[in-house]
Amino acid sequence: MQMFYGDIEYTLVTDPPEAMYWKTYKLKKSHIKLIDKFDRTTAARIKQEIYEDVLANDPDAPTLPARGRFAARQR
């Protein structure tokens, strides 16, 4: 399935392929495959943004863990 994040084309690669439609499937950043070519650091940043966007817009997804300098202190 062809998907876009702004102008960036990507797809979700899950095993089995229909798992991307399951309500209980836990998406991982490694399931996001960019169709467009980027250098390693840019691709990692884009995948993180897509991952966070997908989870933020999924009503059944758990809340994102805190990130940043003080994340360890907040737990």
Does residue 8 fall inside a structural domain? yes
CA distance 18 to 49: 23
Structural domain count, the chain: 1
Does residue 72 fall inside a structural domain? no
CA distance 46 to 32: 10
Does residue 75 fall inside a structural domain? no
Question: Looking at 44-48, 53-57, 65-69, which range is the least confident one?
Answer: 65-69
Interval 18-51: pLDDT, tens: 888 888 888 899 999 999 999 999 999 999 999 9
* Residue span of the structural domain in which 37 resides: 3-61
Does residue 10 fall inside a structural domain? yes
Does residue 68 fall inside a structural domain? no
CA dist 13 → 2, 25, 27, 29, 41 (Å): 11, 12, 10, 10, 20
Does residue 56 fall inside a structural domain? yes
Does residue 25 fall inside a structural domain? yes
Q: Is the pTM of the predicted complex or chain greater than 0.75? A: no
Looking at residue 25, what is its pLDDT? 84
